[in-house]
Chain A
């Protein structure tokens, strides 16, 4: 046997509830029907409980004003749009930092023969002559710059604003 899942009188029950006629100002025939109809009985029990709870919830609700909600939404969309638009600037800074790093690395690489010579000279205790080399100063500057710029460049690349 197929189980009934709806009753044509459900809407009458809901009407009686919403117009606050149930149970005292409703036709006796509807009351009798509900008493004998499992579907309408469930509808009545559930709808009555939920409507009461809804009325309570409406009273409990402590809502922000529409102006506050609009203002917060406006602030948020503004921040998101700015963050989105700032992304190319961040990329440009990162590229510039990387380029600077590469230039310094290239300078260090070009100065490497002199550095090697210097180190060899240092190893053979010819320190005074090596320090007099014309490439010693650029080499030291390049190495120093790497030490200073590399952390900054890494910070720029990895930082989130």
Chain B
């Protein structure tokens, strides 16, 4: 490989430019680390469930935080910052889907996964329930999966969902209603309700 010699001045100049680029991050290291610790699990779970692929979720998590750090904007509040992060994650997942690298899959939990060990009393039922949800989620449109996850797994408000997905707030109610109805039907509707009362 052909490499060019650089003078000390070149090296100093490039070092200075790199240091200046790091200063453009939206937050300093301490603030970022605290923010990451508060949000990373939610972002990873969201990515894993909307893409159905854990290793892809690992990649997209890193990329989401990188793009967040490089965002040229200021945030009014923690909620605004968090919604923006979810928006980046959502867009990255859409990009991957569009590029066709990844088709949504139905992740069937293995019994030896760490998650399968949370409730040692009923592994089989837990695995079955998760598989049912994964299959039901796979029948939904990407936007529906995202919306339902934000609303019911994360407890986001309609306003937060609108900001995270880049959808008009006025549309959320009806879109959420339709998505919820489809998922409930896919989960077995009345039978699932009866189970929930057991």
Contact = CB atoms under 8 A, between A and B. Distances in A.
B197 A31 contact: yes
Interface string B158-176: 0000000000000001100
The interface residues of chain A, by DSSP majority, are classed as helix
Contacts of A70: 29, 32-33, 36
Contact of B174 (A5, A64, A155): A5
Interface string A14-30: 10001000110000000
A85 interface: yes
The 10 nearest A-B residue pairs measured at CB: A57-B45, A81-B21, A66-B33, A42-B184, A54-B153, A5-B177, A60-B115, A66-B36, A78-B18, A50-B152
Interface range, B side? 35 or more
Interface in A57-71: 57-64, 66-67, 69-70
Contacts of A58: 41, 45
Contact of B187 (A45, A85, A161): A45
Contacts of A14: 152, 155
Interface residues of A, number: 56
A43 B180 contact: yes
Contacts of A117: none
Contacts of B17: 81-82, 84-85
B69 interface: yes
Given A5-B174, A60-B114, A45 B196 contact: yes
